[in-house]
């Protein structure tokens, strides 16, 4: 670590302390050349979790965007805000586990995670989300999706 007073690269650590719930370390240092004491901080720099769009573009995962889509599907359904938050958290955790190695997930995989979760908890919300996500072109596609849902019961 370069001394801010004399510019020397030789120092010793006098004290180390874990800060902010273990996410950073504060170190008190002393320059071996001039004796000046200073503080340095170390933090883990994580690669952000990314979503790969169908056209190949990558953008950071946005929990708010996921939450809005699920809230929209569950609108006027018997779900509290806390339940919706739990659903979003479960989907987010599953997505991160699936993309653990590459730190990314495709939009189609993320959409399928949402569909699977909504199918398990509320069929109306499932159909609402599927109608937007699957881009139904006509009434027949929509009716077919509803009929498949009825067959699975």
Residue 124 has pLDDT above 60, yes or no: yes
Average pLDDT over residues 24-34: 95
Average pLDDT over residues 64-82: 91
Eight-class DSSP state of 104 = E
CA 49 to chain centre: 6
Give 138 or 68, the one with higher predicted confidence: 68
Average pLDDT over residues 62-83: 91
Helices 139-151 and 123-133: crossing angle in degrees, nearest 10, is 140
Looking at the chain, the whole-number percentage of residues with pLDDT higher than 70 is 90
Q: What gap in Å lies between CA 3 and CA 36, rounded to an integer? A: 8
Q: Where are the alpha helices (DSSP H) in 9-152?
A: 63-73, 81-98, 107-121, 123-133, 139-151
- Indicate the pTM of the whole model: 0.64
Q: What gap in Å lies between CA 130 and CA 153, rounded to an integer? A: 17
């Amino acid at each position: 670590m370069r001394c801010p007073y004399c510019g020397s690269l030789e120092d010793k650590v006098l004290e180390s302390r874990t800060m902010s719930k273990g996410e950073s370390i504060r170190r008190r240092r002393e320059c071996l050349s001039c004796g000046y004491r200073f503080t340095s901080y170390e933090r883990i720099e994580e690669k952000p979790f990314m979503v790969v769009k169908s056209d190949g573009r990558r953008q950071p995962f946005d929990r708010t965007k996921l939450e809005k889509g699920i809230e929209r599907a569950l609108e006027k359904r018997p779900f509290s805000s806390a339940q919706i938050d739990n659903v979003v958290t479960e989907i987010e955790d599953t997505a991160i586990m699936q993309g653990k190695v590459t730190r990314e997930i495709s939009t189609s995989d993320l959409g399928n995670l949402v569909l699977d979760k909504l199918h398990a908890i509320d069929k109306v919300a499932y159909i609402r989300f599927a109608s937007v996500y699957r881009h139904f072109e006509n009434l027949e596609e929509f009716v077919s999706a509803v009929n498949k849902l009825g067959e699975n019961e």
